[in-house]
Amino acid sequence: MTASGGVDAEHVLAIDLGTGGPKVAVVSTAGRIVAHGFAPVTLHLLDGGGAEQDPDEWWSATRTAARAALDAAAVDPGSFVGVGCTSQWSGTVAVGTDGRPLMRSIIWMDSRGNRAIRKAAGGPVNVLGYDPRKLVKWVRTTGGAPGLSGKDPTAHILFIRDELPDVYRRTATFLEPVDYLNLRLTGRTCASFDTIAAHWVTDNRRIDAVAYDDDLLAMSGLERSKLPDLVPPGTLIGELTAAAADDLGLPAGVPVAVGSGDVHSAVFGSGAVADFDAHLYIGTSSWISAHVPFKKTAATSNVASIPAALAGRYVIVDEHETAGACLTFVRDNLGFADDFETMDAMADSVAPGGRRVLFTPWLNGERSPVDDHTIRGGFHNLSLGTTREEMVRAVYEGVAFNSRWLLAAVEQFAGGRFDSLSFIGGGANSEPWCQVHADVLEREIRQVADPVLANVRGAALVTLVALGRITVEEIPAMVEVRRTFVPDRSTRDVYRALYGEFLNLYKQTKGIHRRLNRF
């Protein structure tokens, strides 16, 4: 837990439920993070592509992190004017009529529904795995379509329907993780236009009147009765219940904002809230995103724009499955180093490109710019002379090459070049990684201060906007940029050459991995 100096009169409690566990922060109405706490949660990886977490453990960890933050902040509990959440997105919590979870949550990494969604999306004639008529309907209505990897909530629900019929029968509502937290906070079951978007069953053409579409529900195989009612983003959905207040250490009755998924809140937490002002996030996963004023889909690169947490706007959505998780994998499984600071030093000791060692970061498949749940990662071009330092450097560069691959797709989608990107998430704490991204992407990288707190800061800013305490236009000045990294021109030739071979590795190995990992 940490705390910073200074005194602010009023505060909000912001909750960010990441895959590693919840961060909870006390944030002033001026946007200053006064203190924050964290508690870990368990990730259950199962055979066949399963990835689950326990919603009760989420709440227990949230309670622990909130108490730690409040103790560190040492502010009057009566000073809190709001509570707001953000969370890992594209997950599924099956709750019964009593609001209790019926099983562990299926999270965004889970691909067990891939067969079911491919069956729902396909037809007599398929293009990119979709019946063309269905794909046109999805794209025109929602701005996107369910990914065929099985990692979207619709696929999760179909998996439960087909493989766990008793759970499906007893489920009153399927909720996104953030909407489950809202249920625990307020007792109200609902979703916002943005949190429901990854189900791909809403008509998003009128951004101020998003609603379920009966044809999409039927096409997807979902029952409307098992989905939550919808509210606009920026809505106050209720008040903190006595039970939740007692758990968190706050007074009952504090207003609760509807919150958002992590992709949506990250835009706020990066400070890059204006249209086409982009940010790069690297945590367990990664993405490149920005607000845009239009609904659009690029089906071939799995990039789309969907309702944002900012009313009246859309946000670009895409995802890399593993980014920071690659460094964690190296630390925990290869024994190269005990901490990220040591790996930073190891990477920084190697010249750009090393001895042309390449790392492909597809440890859990990929979503964008290819939707491929069977592709896998690895080290390439190793020799007897390869060192640990060169391999660590290759991981930093491999994730950056993947970012460049995605950047090309996102810029094409947005219709223009992003000259600068705000960098957030735990990966942005690494100055060597900031420079590697600047060099590989050939773009200016703005390292946001306290980047690991960007999502919890974003949850607070979304809440403050919903409360009417701040305007969106004030947000950029409330988010500090620690340092700006510019591309080193001397690295351009080596990185361009290695990036080309990085793309070749995908093309040459995707068939091998499909055969090895077919399930």
List of residues 6+ apart from 176 with CB closer than 8 A: 87, 89, 90, 91, 92, 93, 153, 191, 195, 196, 198, 261
Under the banding of pLDDT at 50, 70 and 90, the label for residue 144 is confident
Contact 201, 212 (CB under 8 A): yes
Q: What is the pLDDT of residues 67-124, one digit of tens each?
A: 999 999 999 999 999 999 999 999 999 999 999 999 999 999 999 999 999 999 999 9
Q: At a CB cut-off of 8 Å and minimum separation 6, what does 408 contact? A: 369
pLDDT at 420 over 90: yes
What residues contact residue 220 under an 8 Å CB cut-off, 6+ apart?
120, 146, 154, 158, 199, 200, 201
Residue where one domain finishes, among candidates 205, 227, 258: 258
One domain, residues 238 and 306: no
CA 167 to chain centre: 27
Q: Which of 1-15, 152-166, 332-346, 411-425 has the lowest average pLDDT?
A: 1-15
Query: Which tokens go with 296?
Result: 């659009």
Q: How far is CA 397 from the centre of its chain?
A: 21
Quote the longest CA-to-CA distance of the chain.
65
d(CA 390, CA 402): 18
Q: What is the pLDDT of residues 275-327, one digit of tens each?
A: 999 999 999 899 999 999 999 888 789 899 999 999 999 999 999 999 999 99
The predicted model scores a pTM of: 0.89
* Angle of the 431-441 helix axis to the 340-348 helix axis, nearest 10: 50
> Are 128 and 277 contained in the same domain?
no
Q: Cα 131 vs. chain centroid, distance in angstroms?
A: 28
- Whether 325 and 294 map to the same domain: the answer is yes
Region 351-378: mean pLDDT is 95
Q: Are 200 and 138 in contact (CB under 8 A)?
A: yes
State mean pLDDT over 174-180.
98
- Among 110, 64, 86, 96, residue whose Cα is nearest residue 12: 86
In a domain, 504, yes or no: yes
Please name the amino acid found at residue 478.
M
The tokens describing 150, both together, are: 């099985």
Is residue 264 included in any domain, yes or no? no
- Give me the pLDDT at residue 2, please: 52
Contact at 8 Å (CB) between 357 and 302? no
Q: By residue range, what is the domain housing residue 373?
A: 271-519
Same domain, 460 and 424: yes
Q: What is the pLDDT of residue 436?
A: 98
Angle ∠(159,162,165) on CA atoms, nearest 5:
110
Supply the pLDDT for residue 519: 61
Of the listed ranges 4-8, 229-233, 424-428, the one predicted with least confidence: 4-8
Q: What's residue 128's pLDDT? A: 81
The percentage of the chain sitting over the pLDDT mark of 70, rounded to a whole number, equals 98
| Average pLDDT of span 169-182 | 98
In a domain, 265, yes or no: no
Supply the pLDDT for residue 288: 98
- Please tell me the distance from the alpha carbon of residue 269 to that of residue 480, in angstroms, as a whole number: 10
Is residue 116 within 8 Å of 162, Cβ to Cβ?
yes
> Does residue 263 lie in a domain region?
no
Q: Are residue 191 and residue 308 in the same domain, yes or no? A: no
516 in a domain, yes or no?
yes
Mean pLDDT of 474-486: 97
pLDDT over 50 (residue 6): no
Q: Supply the pLDDT for residue 127.
A: 86
**% of the chain at pLDDT higher than 90:** 93
Q: Within a domain: residue 173? A: yes
Whole-angstrom distance, CA of residue 118 vs CA of residue 155: 9
- Choosing from 258, 288, 313, the residue where a domain stops is 258
| CB-based contacts of 290, cutoff 8 Å, min separation 6 | 267, 272, 275, 276, 277, 278, 279, 315, 316, 410, 414, 418
Region 183-198: what's the mean pLDDT? 97
Count the domains in the chain: 2
Q: Is residue 146 part of a domain?
A: yes
| 98 half-sphere exposure, CB direction, 13 A CA radius | 3
Residue that finishes a domain, picked among 258, 281, 305? 258
Tell me, yes or no, whether 416 and 516 share the same domain: yes
**Residues 419, 466 share a domain:** yes
| Res 496: pLDDT | 98
Residues 500 and 122: their CA atoms lie apart, in Å, by: 33
343 lies in the same domain as 235: no
CA atoms of 215 and 221, how far apart (whole Å):
10
- 169 shares its domain with 291: no
Q: What is the pLDDT of residue 365?
A: 94
- Residue 177: predicted pLDDT: 98
Structural domain includes residue 266: no
CATH of the domain at 364: 3.30.420.40
pLDDT bin (cut points 50, 70, 90) of residue 5 is: very low
Q: What is the C-alpha to C-alpha distance for residues 300 and 322, in angstroms, rounded to an integer?
A: 20
pLDDT at 4 over 80: no
Number of neighbouring beta carbons within 10 Å of residue 428? 29
Residues 253 and 289 in one domain: no
Q: Is residue 8 pLDDT above 80, yes or no? A: no
Look at residue 147 in the predicted model and tell me its pLDDT.
87
Segment 135-159 shows an average pLDDT of 93
- Six-digit token pair at 78? 């009566």
Answer yes or no: do 232 and 318 share one domain: no
**pLDDT tens-digit series, residues 505-519:** 999 999 999 999 986
Please check whether residues 287 and 242 belong to one and the same domain.
no
The stretch 346-361 carries a mean pLDDT of 97
